[in-house]
Amino acid sequence: MQDVSNQIKELIFQSSKLLEDYDVLKAKYNLLKEDYNNCKQTISEKDQHIQKIEKEFHLLKLSKKVTSVDDREDVDKLKKQLDMYIKELDRCIQSINAE
């Protein structure tokens, strides 16, 4: 009878420990989910910026301002902005994949 009682106590202890582990994992999951949603939002915002820049660049090309010397600086500036946004998107994607 004592053996059964000890086994029941051990099962209760193990169950309690599993519940604690579950709560910790659930909290970690919620944090990761929040990080994921934040990264998704950042990606969406950056994508909107990229689309805006692409439209501006397209308008510059259409107006033939791209060929002038002054506008070459604008194109370079737009390319740098695009590169910056792409790098930020890559960092977000890598952080999501790492988690």
Question: Tens of pLDDT along 83-97?
Answer: 888 888 878 878 777
Residues near 82 by beta carbon (within 8 Å), at least 6 away in sequence = 50, 53, 54
pLDDT digits (tens, 9 = 90+) for 19-71: 999 999 999 999 999 999 999 999 999 888 888 888 877 777 666 654 555 55
**pTM as predicted:** 0.50
For residue 25, which phi and psi values (nearest 5 degrees)? -65, -35
The Cα–Cα gap between 29 and 63 comes to 51
For residue 6, which phi and psi values (nearest 5 degrees)? -65, -40
Q: C-alpha distances in angstroms, 8 versus 4, 14, 21?
A: 6, 10, 20
The Cα–Cα gap between 99 and 92 comes to 11
